[in-house]
Structure 1
């Protein structure tokens, strides 16, 4: 059977050349196809397939069960559709045969067209990309929260870019209803709010645009204790002066490129100096810095080894004056008991400190001992501080971490939380930022850097094909690449 298309942006489907679906019955069969389609043309290890399809609860004979499932998939798709290789299985398909990867390619083309000043091409390409969605991403993957959130974020980015193209083409009236709906769903997304203000101005409703700006300003002040960012402030000035041409306004809102990263400020905190250089991720750091200005809880999502911990610390150091009382890291990986989460955070913040009573007399008792409830102690400690708290490795105590974060954010108006986890915390107002694997050029740079440290004289240029193959087989995961580089000592 000559299959040319697979869908995973919605219910997983295999499509014939004429577009008719091939029956793929059973939740586990669709889950297997989903995992294979995420890496078309690449071998997926059997252990990874078992873990994904059975959601960490494999049957007694996992190998036999997987072989039987692959056999069923071959009967549905054709004997050559799934190949066995190197201890795993490979879907015989090109990336563009899978809607998710085609969406990624098309959105990249649309972004480049927009940057090159060709909004008509950008609109056409982005329409094709967004038309590929037929429901929630990876709907048939049992544990899809983090990966699905990553693609939903990309979908929102594509919608934002498409609306930018619409305004550049003079289609503000058609774009305004969708912009209004998106702004209601994402009220703290300042780029979206800026697009809505531009659309209102372009359809001749500047008074409504000014009223909308005031609503956004008050929302940011109430929810975040901050003022609108430079893009919104610049657009507000244009609205007040009634005279800026649309092209100049568009340039002001879009900006020439990513804002320069501010230098870290010297504030209190417990972040330790890192022992290795930080390779790549500059755009991720800029995005996280913007996220922290827009939301009081930002969660970095990704699989183990994706580099969430290091990225959170590097990004946190750029917040500068936004965290006058410092950046504090609480490591939750060693915490076995969910009930111990508040106590672990309390200890990380150094809240057990000596206080003075009377005329200079020192009373040797801890501030934390004034109350029995550690959450109360934390709230008291953080309530009057403007600080950033990093909660690292929340996934194994996610419910306890979520309860603590929600209570602290309600009681501490100047507190911002940056969490790392393999799944969302599910707290109201949470902004999710997926941490993706390193693209090949950055992965190669990391291998070169860590390889040279492990074995002086090592250069990826001496065998670039082998180095690239190592990075591909390790799926661009920073931890895996660092472990591989360490083996060069042997």
Structure 2
């Protein structure tokens, strides 16, 4: 309690602090009943509010003119009024006044006021969420950012009173915003808390999910039936997608059991798996390493989205399939064609986030065919879209990927400026930008003969990421270290590292995402053997080089 602290200190400061309390007491005594009621109710807000929110939360249905009362409180310097980010006026209480007002808010009035606050911000989140996709998404994202502390407060209150409908609605309404801003810690925190209120939808016996055409956010709570069941499933899917990559939990029995339950519950082509958050079930398919299921899932999601008339969802499904096909050129399909169609749809919809992702997918397909200059151009355009949206995490990821293309087409100075700048800063986001930046930077440093600096980047990666946490990461880490060993003449060490990488490559997820790596291992091992000398080793090295082409996936550019 601020006032208790203020009046409990040394005698030398006690009179001044007691005077502060007396001033607030005196100001309160001069207020009429309406002003006292509104001032006390304003204490439930976090980070201020606009007039619309004040009227919705502070009115009690008794004809109270909140706008007039607010004006009077501003005149009396008890409420601070200032323009908000969007130019509208926002109102807040100074910390001391806010704590005093909270003390004056009666228990019954507090419950009613907090409920009105919860309903108002739940509706703000629910009705704003659809605008995060398409024209006006920047304004919608800014709106949520401005009211984020109020939204968190509303969600916290819903959890405290175990109001399942309100919790599910708010988690679903904030999910895409969290994803766009890469707020993985927030996702983990709130989905863990939400999941604790309900059943485990993926525990055995596994009940296949039926088609759900309605969206949870189409209406406010309460919810029931299959829509409620799907809402619980979605909470667990979102939680899975945001798991911490720096831990060793991805292959834990608990996660594997959940993944098995998800794969057993869903089937490709369901309406709810075409759109977020249900579309996140694809993470489980990838973790399970079922290549056939992955191909079927992405294909049928595209088909179902077309048939259902889901334009944004179709654009998203095409972008996902383009990403998958870029890494699996042996599958039937054309990654660049899918990326082009996705980009055209997102442009029609006015979705900067989607345009950036579609351009990134096309860039990746061009990288796999060796068109690094064109890939760099796509990444640059994607960055422009992400910057317009204010998606800083997305911008960082795209800049790292662009630097990777620059390295391959010889633009080393530009790549080093990007990667050096990113790796020199503290990681602010939970995405793959930093580990990818360190991996690319280590490769660049190794190419230019700065082996100790390259190894330093690898060591930082080892400290930041636990081995075994993410199969694909382990493979790249071992392979890069082996390549550096060769560059430094440590050929025996390189062969040992390649053996470690080969073992990690047995993980189905690694095989699915990076099928070209076994061929890369052959070339790395060939260099080691040839460099060690001897006729037998030279013969084995030649055989490995000969096998390289056979193991390289079809249409994949030699590396």
TM-score > 0.5, shorter chain as reference? no
Going by fraction, where is strand more abundant, 1 or 2?
Answer: 1
- Of structures 1 and 2, the one with the larger relative CO (CA 8 A, separation 6+) is 1
Question: Which is helix-richer, 1 or 2?
Answer: 2
